[in-house]
């Protein structure tokens, strides 16, 4: 069993975040509403503190034609988010593809419809230590504490892959203690010596690098190059009932992905700042200037088999899914994505 550690520094914050999400549960009991047609379907969802999700961006840009987002609280991790979607507490959720595969293989009736994050030269996941740290190789990580955003997610899969590829045994891999931390607090925990290594990405990684005093041990892009790493999912019964709404959502998010790729950085940050300030959730915009990329490898977030097969060895090693049973075609569909059919305008 993988060691899980909860630091005093963030324990209270984690409880607050969980309570925030739970507060939305009363609203989440209601099903998506419409006035008799998919053109007015309301999609319940969870957000992320101090960040703008692609669906939120798509709505702000006017790309979600005929559907409306209904924020019900913040999530604390990708696995929690897709779990809430599978349970019908929200209408869609997003997580690391390995977590999506595990959820579906466990029997949850959901399907991935679009890739929404990944790793590239701007959005890669890096594992950082303080400059004074003696950690330099995979072997140096044995028995150490690594701050990750959640258990069973992207950071854990990449870390395990790195350790195994560098000759560690599975018992040695399991000795590495994973510490779940909200991304905004990971830097603080590292500098306070409460963790030995910090897994960081996106705006939070860039913010840490700007402060200085840290160095990278490795990154996921060193092993996988540019790749999409996570997808948004819907329940199959929701897709069957509201196919036009799912298509509108997918097309809007796909268009938002391409908007972030083609729009100057300053304009993207200005739009994100406007969205956060306008929604009045008691957040900070201080880290937004460090945003770099959504990291989605394909045009419009089209999903590929490799998004899931990439994690086959890890899924089998952890006992989650046998590699031979990983039927990727049953995990996702591109039927709602106009970039898959070449019909995007």
- pLDDT at residue 28 above 50? no
175 located within any domain: yes
pLDDT over 70 percentage in the chain: 88
**Cβ pair 127, 146 in contact under 8 A:** yes
Q: Each residue of 191-223: pLDDT tens digit?
A: 999 999 999 988 889 999 999 999 999 999 988
Same domain, 233 and 275: yes
- pLDDT at residue 26 above 60? no
> What is the per-residue pLDDT for 139?
97
> What is the per-residue pLDDT for 20?
37
Residue 322's pLDDT band, with cuts at 50, 70 and 90, is confident
Same domain, 233 and 318: yes
The residue-averaged pLDDT of 264-282 equals 96
> What is the per-residue pLDDT for 10?
43
> What is the per-residue pLDDT for 117?
96
337 class by beta-carbon count within 10 Å (0-12 exposed, 13-18 middle, 19+ buried): buried
Same domain, 137 and 198: yes
> What is the per-residue pLDDT for 313?
92
Name the residue among 1, 47, 310 with its Cα closest to residue 177: 1
DSSP 240-308: HH-HHHHHHHHHHHHHHHHHHHHS-HHHHHHHHHHHHHHHTSS---TTGGG-------SGGG---THHH
DSSP 64-131: -TTEEEEEEEE-S-HHHHHHHHHTTSSSEEEEEHHHHHHHHHTT--EEEEEEEEEESTTT-EEEEEET
2 located within any domain: no
3 located within any domain: no
H-helix or E-strand spanning residue 197? strand 197-201
- pLDDT at residue 17 above 70? no
Same domain, 13 and 153: no
Same domain, 101 and 83: yes
Residue 126 CA to residue 307 CA, distance in Å, equals 19
68 located within any domain: yes
Instruction: Name the domain count of the chain.
Output: 2
The residue-averaged pLDDT of 300-323 equals 93
1 located within any domain: no
Show which of 189, 224, 259 is a domain's final residue. 224
Residue 184's pLDDT band, with cuts at 50, 70 and 90, is confident
Full residue range of the structural domain in which residue 312 is found: 8-121+226-341
> What is the per-residue pLDDT for 153?
93
- pLDDT at residue 19 above 50? no
Same domain, 253 and 336: yes
Residue 85 CA to residue 112 CA, distance in Å, equals 11
Name the residue among 73, 94, 89, 62 with its Cα closest to residue 24: 73
148 class by beta-carbon count within 10 Å (0-12 exposed, 13-18 middle, 19+ buried): buried
Backbone angles phi and psi of 275, in degrees to 5: -65, -50
> What is the per-residue pLDDT for 2?
56
Q: Each residue of 49-91: pLDDT tens digit?
A: 899 999 999 999 999 999 999 999 999 899 999 999 999 999 9
Same domain, 170 and 213: yes
Show which of 186, 204, 224 is a domain's final residue. 224
> What is the per-residue pLDDT for 3?
57
Show which of 205, 224, 243 is a domain's final residue. 224
What is each CA distance from 95 to 116, 171, 283, 297, 327, in whole angstroms?
9, 27, 22, 16, 18
Residue 27's pLDDT band, with cuts at 50, 70 and 90, is very low
> What is the per-residue pLDDT for 14?
40
Kindly tell me the sign of the dihedral angle through the C-alpha atoms of 58, 59, 62, 65. positive
SS (H, E, C) 63-75: CCCCEEEEEEEEC
Same domain, 167 and 31: no
Residue 147 CA to residue 155 CA, distance in Å, equals 9
- pLDDT at residue 144 above 70? yes
Same domain, 140 and 36: no
> Average pLDDT of the chain?
89
205 located within any domain: yes
What's the pTM?
A: 0.86
> What is the per-residue pLDDT for 308?
96
Q: Each residue of 87-129: pLDDT tens digit?
A: 999 999 999 999 999 999 999 999 999 999 999 988 999 999 9
- Domain CATH number, residue 117: 3.40.190.10
313 located within any domain: yes
Same domain, 72 and 215: no
Q: Each residue of 145-183: pLDDT tens digit?
A: 999 999 999 999 999 999 999 999 999 999 999 999 988
H-helix or E-strand spanning residue 9? helix 8-23
216 located within any domain: yes
Same domain, 44 and 132: no
Same domain, 83 and 138: no
> What is the per-residue pLDDT for 320?
84
């Amino acid at each position: 069993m993988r060691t899980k550690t909860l630091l005093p520094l963030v324990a209270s914050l984690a409880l607050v975040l969980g309570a925030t999400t739970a507060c939305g549960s009363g609203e989440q009991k209601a099903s998506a509403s419409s006035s008799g047609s998919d053109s007015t379907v309301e999609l319940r969802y969870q957000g992320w503190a101090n960040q703008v999700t692609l669906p939120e961006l798509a709505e702000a840009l006017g790309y979600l034609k005929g559907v409306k987002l209904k924020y019900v609280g913040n999530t604390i991790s990708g696995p929690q988010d897709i779990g809430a979607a599978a349970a019908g507490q929200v209408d869609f959720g997003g997580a690391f593809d390995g977590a999506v595969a595990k959820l579906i293989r466990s029997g949850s009736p959901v399907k991935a419809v679009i890739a929404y994050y990944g790793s590239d030269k701007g959005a890669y996941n890096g594992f950082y230590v303080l400059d004074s740290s003696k950690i330099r190789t995979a072997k140096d990580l044995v028995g150490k504490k690594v701050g990750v955003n959640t258990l069973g997610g992207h950071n854990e899969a990449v870390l395990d892959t790195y350790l195994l590829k560098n000759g560690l045994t599975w018992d040695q891999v399991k000795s590495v203690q994973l510490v779940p931390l909200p991304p905004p607090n990971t830097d603080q925990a590292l500098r306070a010596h409460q963790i030995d290594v910090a897994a960081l990405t996106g705006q939070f990684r860039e913010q840490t690098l700007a402060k200085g005093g840290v160095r990278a041990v490795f990154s996921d892009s060193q092993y996988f190059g540019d790749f999409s790493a996570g997808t948004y999912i819907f329940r199959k019964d929701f897709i069957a009932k509201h196919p036009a709404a799912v298509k509108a959502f997918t097309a809007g998010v796909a268009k938002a992905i391409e908007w972030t790729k083609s729009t100057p950085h300053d304009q993207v940050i200005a739009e994100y700042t406007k969205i956060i300030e306008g929604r009045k959730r008691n957040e900070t915009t201080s880290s937004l200037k460090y945003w770099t990329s959504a990291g989605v490898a394909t045009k419009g977030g089209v999903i590929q088999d490799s998004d899931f097969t990439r994690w086959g060895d890890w899924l089998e090693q952890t006992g989650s899914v046998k590699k031979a049973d990983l039927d990727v075609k049953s995990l996702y569909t591109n039927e709602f994505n106009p970039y898959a059919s070449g019909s995007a305008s």
